[in-house]
Amino acid sequence: MTWFERHPIRKDSKSISLLAVFTAMVAASQVVPIVGVTTFKTGVVGMNIDWTGILIVIVFQGLGIVYSFFSVAVMWISIGYRNPAGAIFKVSAESLMLIGMATAWLLGARKSKNRIVKLTLYLIFGCAFRAVGMFFVNTALLPVFYALTPQAAYALSVLIVPWNVVQAVINIAGGFTFYSLIPQRLAAQAGLGDGAYAESRRILELSSEEMQRNRAQDSASD
């Protein structure tokens, strides 16, 4: 059995509804950013801090990696109509963070029952992938989109590294905290998490089997 067979893309109505809610919140926070409310200036050119990544991390934990990248795509559209270059940098940063978190999940976070261990793994890999990856992305793309020399782009990329770490910490710690505050019973009812999804699929399979038995009984009685 392949990885995709063990972890199928969720297609149930609850998952789609939850994805719609979270992506709408992502879009709303980026369509018209409000300085001091949804975004905060860092003092470094081209680097702001916002809360959008928290929602993306919640989607990652509750609905899986595929839907978290879908929410990133929605974010790209929300930013791209007003700032195409900024959208490319933002999507690159969030995608690198998600790749780091997915790596942490594959290497051990999925097996750990300790929330502190899971959070630590997500922070280490998410911050490292985002900070290091964006250093190279910024160094390569800043001269392309802005009137910067390679030397100036390199210097600015170095200044942005710690802010990318700060943003990743806010996203991962914030998303993990908010997700952990959801009561397990409520999360299961809403369809959040692998366990809830597995239970939902089991119920659907049982319902399907029951319908087949009823049809067979009706046919036999006829």
Q: Is the dihedral of CA 30, 33, 36, 37 positive or negative?
A: negative
Residue 205's domain comprises 194-222
* Nearest in space to 174 (alpha carbons), one of 104, 119, 111: 119
Tokens in use for 142?
Answer: 């800043």
Is residue 3 a part of any domain in this protein?
A: no
pTM for this model (two decimals): 0.81
Tens digits of pLDDT across the chain (222 residues): 554 555 556 677 777 888 888 899 998 888 877 777 778 888 887 788 999 999 999 999 988 888 999 999 999 999 998 899 999 999 999 999 999 999 999 887 777 778 898 999 999 999 999 999 999 999 999 999 998 999 999 999 999 999 999 999 999 999 999 998 887 776 676 667 754 444 444 444 444 555 566 565 655 555
Strands (E), the chain: 39-41, 48-50
DSSP secondary structure letter of residue 183: -
Phi, psi of 50 (to 5 degrees): -140, 180
Q: What is the CA radius of gyration of the chain?
A: 21
**Do 91 and 176 belong to one domain?**
yes
Rounded to 5°, angle at Cα 169 from 118 and 33: 130
Supply the pLDDT for residue 205: 47
Is residue 120 a part of any domain in this protein?
A: yes
Number of domains present in the structure of the chain: 2
